[in-house]
Amino acid sequence: MRIWDIEPKSICNKHLLGEHRELHAIWSILTNDKKGYIYHPEVLRWKGKLRALYLRHELEVEEMKHRGFAHYSPLEARLATGKDTQDRLINSIEEQKELLKKKNCLCQ
């Protein structure tokens, strides 16, 4: 489970769509008080930052549409509460770029 902290335009289709699915999973866990994965580091770093997660989703959707993908799963804006920026990283931006490089995909 991962939400990258780099620009969605830099992520290949596989990772963009994968992140979109995982973002919805995190959103559901946090907004529906679900217990599964509640202690996963990626979920924990978004706790109290639903506004930031919502904004990340909007960036993803914009990039998905730019690439010709349809989008049918909007988030409820009224649930987008808390901080509007993500200030906690699991890996630095440089480490994230290196991780993506090692995946032998089309990420930039």
CA 76 to chain CA centroid, Å, is 16
Query: Which one, of 64, 69, 100, lies nearest residue 108 by Cα?
Result: 100
- Average pLDDT of the chain, as a whole number: 96
Residue ranges per structural domain of the chain: 8-101
User: pTM of this prediction?
Assistant: 0.95
Tens digits of residue pLDDT in 60-108 = 999 999 999 999 999 999 999 999 999 999 999 999 999 999 998 999 7
Q: What's the per-residue H, E or C state across 52-72?
A: HHHHHHHHHHHHHHHCCCCCC
Distance (Å, whole) CA 61 – CA 17:
10
